[in-house]
Amino acid sequence: MDEQLTLAQALANLSDLAPEIWQASVETGLMLAIGLSVAIVVGGPLGILLYLTQPGQLFANRAVNGVVGWFVNLVRSFPFIILMVSLVPLTRLLVGSTIGPIAAAVPLSFAAIPYFARLVEQTLREIPRGVIEAAEAMGASPAQIIWKVLLGEARAGLISSLTILTISFLSYSAVAGVVGGGGIGDLAIRYGYYRFQTEVMVAMVLLLVVIVQIIQFAGNHLAARLDKR
Amino acid sequence: MIHLKNVHKRFRRPEGGWFDAVRDTTLHIKAGEIFGLIGFSGAGKSTLLRLINLLERPDHGSVNVDGRDLTGLSAAELRRARQNIGMVFQQFNLMANRTVAANIAFPLEIAGWSRADIDQRVAECLDIVGLADRAGHYPSQLSGGQKQRVGIARALAPRPHVILADEPTSALDPKTTQSILDCLQDINARFGVTVVIVTHEMHVIRSICHRAALLDAGEVVELLQVTDKQVAARSALAKSLLEVA
Ligand SMILES: Nc1ncnc2c1ncn2[C@@H]1O[C@H](COP(=O)(O)OP(=O)(O)O)[C@@H](O)[C@H]1O
Ligand SMILES: [Mg+2]
């Protein structure tokens, strides 16, 4: 039957699925939005802390740097699927359920925090030490140094980091989707794999390809505009 | 104006042990003076300069600027005191993502000036360093000499009583060097700002300094007096630096 599938039929099947595709896209969007927001709100400050506690930096502190760095590495060394399963109790506690995009956003957020923290730390390292020192010499407070100097000077790199994070987590969200989160990846597996509707699989992969390209293009464009170095 | 009394600074060596970068040094710099710190590389010039605004904290000794002992201040008080001490760097250390005007505005934002006051003062400072037409440029669009002018304008913006300059011309060619030295001298003459300048070139001392301290191995070995662009030198070290120039 598969071999007799014409293009017209394939398109007709897809158009029948349009509401589900839309629903799946919204679910993917929701998982990403929650995961990325948590990454920015929690992972961002953690990355700044990781940077500032390094030797020679403003709040150089071997103990804090060691503990935070260890936690970041620990979470990052878990394969995502294992992290998801281990976080089932936490997810149930927080969301009251383990299925649906909101539930899937819990392990996604958890994985996104150390991922983004590391990216932020790497990005901040590119700022010349002398620029921070100049701000210190002018009497800037730590908060002013963080907001005006670190974030201002690293803004293009931070946008690039966020782009990388978004694209990685689009793929993580597909994994989370299959284990009950919904979304584009889940739709692709349910129709394309379990029901042998290859055209759905192909269409969903194409959709993801297009989304990734758009995110990368937008990220590059914004980063280039913000970078005056 | 600036009184360093028995200041001592030691650093931990990476390979273990300690290194005394500044040894029990006493130095008095007068208000309105252009004072040079000269010596060979590694003599402790930068460390001594950075002790003045406490970028380096002395292990012992006192640092008194404008009648205040800085070593006894709280973190917040020290930040306020630093707004009275501008600093200029060899590598300029400008913020790449800020325009020239926004770089000069930075210390004023920090000090909590109003937008209108900031704009007016930035325009004044741009005029003083001759960069009025570059306000909207980014540092990457400027030459080395122009970058250093921005650095000087930024240091001058909060109307400090002191400007510290660490080898401000060492990254520049001879012609640009002279124009930057002239700029510092002009600021000193017009606004009475005390300038402390670190250099390894006797030329810089002769050209704009009133007095200078010759440093060697973390100690002041000779105080040099400059009269009519001539340096009277006694020590062999000072003479050797004069020969290089
Ligand atoms: N943060 C530091 N840690 C360890 N050693 C330092 C540090 N800063 C300076 N030193 C050492 O102190 C000595 C004097 O340095 P510096 O004041 O920069 O000399 P100068 O500016 O005269 O070239 C050098 O030997 C340098 O290696
Ligand atoms: Mg030096």
pLDDT for the residue numbered A198: 85
Mean residue pLDDT of chain A comes to: 91
Ligand 1 neighbour B70 (Cβ under 6 A): no
Q: Which chain A residues have a beta carbon less than 8 Å from that of B111? A: 139
Predicted confidence (pLDDT) at residue A155 exceeds the cutoff of 90: yes
Neighbours of A126 (CB within 10 A): 11
Instruction: Specify the pTM.
Output: 0.90
By Cβ distance, the residue of A137, A140, A229 closest to B53 is A137
Q: Which atom of ligand 1 is nearest to the CA of B166?
A: 21
pLDDT given for residue B116 in this prediction = 97
Cα angle B220-B221-B223, degrees, rounded to a multiple of 5: 80
Question: Residues of chain A with pLDDT > 70: what percent?
Answer: 98
Q: Distance between CA atoms of A173 and A161, rounded to whole angstroms?
A: 18
Distance from CA of B109 to the nearest CA of A (A): 9
Q: Outline where chain A has alpha helix (H).
A: 7-16, 18-38, 44-52, 62-77, 80-86, 88-95, 101-124, 129-137, 142-144, 151-153, 155-176, 184-187, 198-226
Q: Which of B87, B91, B94 sits opposite A137 (nearest CB)?
A: B87
- Phi, psi of B150, deg, nearest 5: -65, -40
Q: What is the pLDDT of residue B189?
A: 96
pLDDT of residue A201: 87
Query: What pLDDT, in 10s, does the model give residues A52-110?
Result: 999 989 999 999 999 999 999 999 998 888 988 899 899 999 988 888 888 999 999 99
Beta strands B2-12 and B18-29 are antiparallel
Q: Which chain B residues are Cβ-neighbours of A141 within 8 angstroms?
A: 76, 79, 110
Kind plus residue range of the DSSP H or E element containing B124: helix B115-128
Q: Where are the domains of chain B?
A: 94-159
Residue B233 scores a pLDDT above 80:
no
Q: For ligand 1, is residue B233 a contact (CB within 6 Å)?
A: no
Q: What is the mean pLDDT of residues A39-49?
A: 96
C-alpha B223/C-alpha B239 separation (Å) is 13
Mean of all residue pLDDT scores within chain B = 94
* Tokens coding B91: 């590598």
CA distance A68 to chain B (A): 25
pLDDT value of position B104: 98
Gap from CA of B148 to ligand 2 centroid (Å): 17
* pLDDT on residue A3: 55
B75-115, pLDDT tens digit by residue? 999 999 999 999 999 999 999 999 999 999 999 999 999 99
User: ipTM score here?
Assistant: 0.93
- Give residue for tokens 């000794």: B61
Q: Give pLDDT, residue B152.
A: 97
Band (A4; pLDDT cuts 50, 70, 90): low
Is residue A2 scored above 70 in pLDDT?
A: no
How much is the average pLDDT of A188-213?
88
Domain residue spans in chain A? 2-226
| Interface membership of A159 toward B (CB under 8 Å) | no
- The answer, for B110 touching chain A at a CB cutoff of 8 Å, is yes
> What is the arrangement of strands in the sheet containing B162-166, beginning at the earlier edge strand?
B85-89, B162-166, B194-199, B34-38, B211-216, B219-227, B230-232
Strand B194-199 and strand B68-69: pairing?
unpaired
Atom index in ligand 1 nearest the CA of residue B39 equals 22
Q: Tokens for B107, please give them.
A: 């210390």
Q: What is the pLDDT of residue B245?
A: 58
Whose CA is closest to A122, among A61, A72, A172? A72
Which of A119-133, A197-211, B2-16 is least confident?
A: A197-211
Domain covering A2-226 in this structure, CATH number: 1.10.3720.10
* Helix or strand holding residue B52 (H, E): helix B45-52
Q: How many CA atoms lie within 13 A of A220 on its CB side?
A: 7
Q: Among all ligands shown, which has an atom nearest to the Cα of B216?
A: 1
Report residue A19 as tokens. Answer: 């509401």
pLDDT tens digits along B137-178: 999 999 999 999 999 999 999 999 999 999 999 999 999 999
Helix (H) or strand (E) holding B101: helix B100-110
Look at B140 and A149 and tell me if their CB atoms are within 8 Å: no
> Given a cut of 80, is residue B24 above it in pLDDT?
yes
For residue B104, which of B163, B153, B144 has the smallest C-alpha distance?
Answer: B153
**Residue A135 with chain B: CB contacts under 8 Å:** 106, 110
Instruction: Give me ligand 1 centre to Cα B21, in Å.
Output: 6
**Atom of ligand 1 at shortest range from CA of B215:** 22
Can you tell me which residue has the tokens 């990454």? A39
Instruction: Name which of B55, B117, B62 is nearest B86 in CA terms.
Output: B55
Residue B135 binned pLDDT confidence (cut-offs 50, 70, 90): very high
Q: What is the per-residue DSSP string for A94-155?
A: HHS-S-SHHHHHHHHHHHHHHHHHHHHHHHHTTS-HHHHHHHHHTT--HHHIIIIIIHHHSH
Report the percent of chain A where pLDDT is more than 90.
64
**pLDDT over 60 at A1, yes or no:** no
pLDDT tens for A129-140 read 999 999 999 999
Nearest to A39 by CA among A145, A94, A120, A141: A120
Q: Is the CB of B80 inside 8 Å of chain A's CB atoms?
A: yes
Beta-strand relationship, B34-38 and B194-199: parallel
Residue A185 has a pLDDT of: 86
* Mutational pocket test of ligand 1: of B19, B166, B199, B241, the residue with most ligand atoms within 8 Å of the beta carbon: B19
Contacts of B83 in chain A (CB under 8 A): 138-139
Asked if the model's pLDDT at residue B243 lies above 80, the reply is: no
- Report, as an integer, the average pLDDT of B223-243: 82
CB B64 within 8 A of CB B38: no
